[in-house]
Amino acid sequence: MEVFELSYNQFQTVYNVLSLALASMLVTFVFLLVVQGRVLARYRQALVVSAMVCLIAAYHYYRIFDSFRHSFVAIDAGELAASSDAMRYALVNGEGFNEGYRYVDWLLTVPLLLFEAIAVLALPRQTRKSLLMKLIPASALMIILGYPGELATDTMAKGIWGALSTIPFLYILYILFVELTRASKTQPEQVGKDVNGLRWLLLATWGVYPISYMFPMFGFEGADAFVARQVGYSIADILAKCLFGLLIYKIAREKSAVDSPEFRADEMEEAPSSK
């Protein structure tokens, strides 16, 4: 879905939301590194992976931001340019906004998101290995099958690739909502609630991607559709990576408190107030 011209407001909306996503990824990356010592050692791997996800996403958002900034330039409209309402941004001749950076990012980060969700639960080795062997290949296949459809200009081709990509997506949901529930029944009550929240967060944020993917199939095209896609993708990424990472940290803290009375006394209980 190629767009050749954006209004001033459309350009600024995409510019600002990409900047917000980049800043969010960097801040969350730093935070997750700094708080490594606030959980027990056995749960730090999940936080390291969460930080890696945000760093990878930050790099790709920098590339996306840079690609967008150089792909659209202000049209010289003389005196009209003094008014923001009259300003337009045109696609540079020979250039193009590179949507492929998103798919490279998702190919790397989606399997890692699933890995950190399993790692933080500290499940038995065999159970953990079984879940990861199912989830990670399925997540990679989902992204790989979706990319040709993203590039396709023919509605039928887009629909075929979208349908193929949906198969591993539904399989992942089955694992998350059925097998992971079975595997996590031994978790503390609050941890079980948080894991349930993680799964619904993934479902809600991942649901944005197929909706945006199908815009052209519903006749929603042009500059407005382009802006809606970039805003939707960016907000979904912030929630699926930054908020997800913070929930992983919360679960790691809760499990650390359950595992170690000393940790709970030092980290989770309030010190008595002195009067």
Q: For residue 105, which of 7, 221, 240, 224 has the smallest C-alpha distance?
A: 240
Encoded tokens for 199: 């799964």
Q: How many CA atoms lie within 13 A of 259 on its CB side?
A: 16
Rounded mean pLDDT, 51-78: 89
pLDDT for 79-131, tens place per residue?
445 555 567 888 886 567 888 899 999 999 999 999 998 998 888 889 889 99
Partnered with residue 6 across adjacent β-strands are 89
CATH architecture for residues 5-258: Up-down Bundle (1.20)
Stretch 261-272: mean pLDDT: 73
The pLDDT of residue 267 is: 79
* Tokens of residue 204, six digits: 């809600």
Residue type, 2: E
Q: Is the pLDDT of residue 141 over 60?
A: yes
**115: exposed, middle or buried (Cβ count in 10 Å: 0-12, 13-18, 19+):** buried
Check: CB of residue 92 under 8 Å from CB of residue 73.
Answer: yes
Q: CA angle, 105 as apex, 122 and 144 as ends, to 5°?
A: 95
At 2 the pLDDT is 61
Q: pLDDT tens digits, residue range 157-181?
A: 888 998 899 899 999 989 888 887 7
The candidate with the shortest Cα–Cα distance to 107, out of 62, 168, 31, is 168
- Is residue 13 within 8 Å of 20, Cβ to Cβ? no
What's the DSSP call for residue 82? Answer: G
Dig out the tokens for 126 from the structure: 């065999």
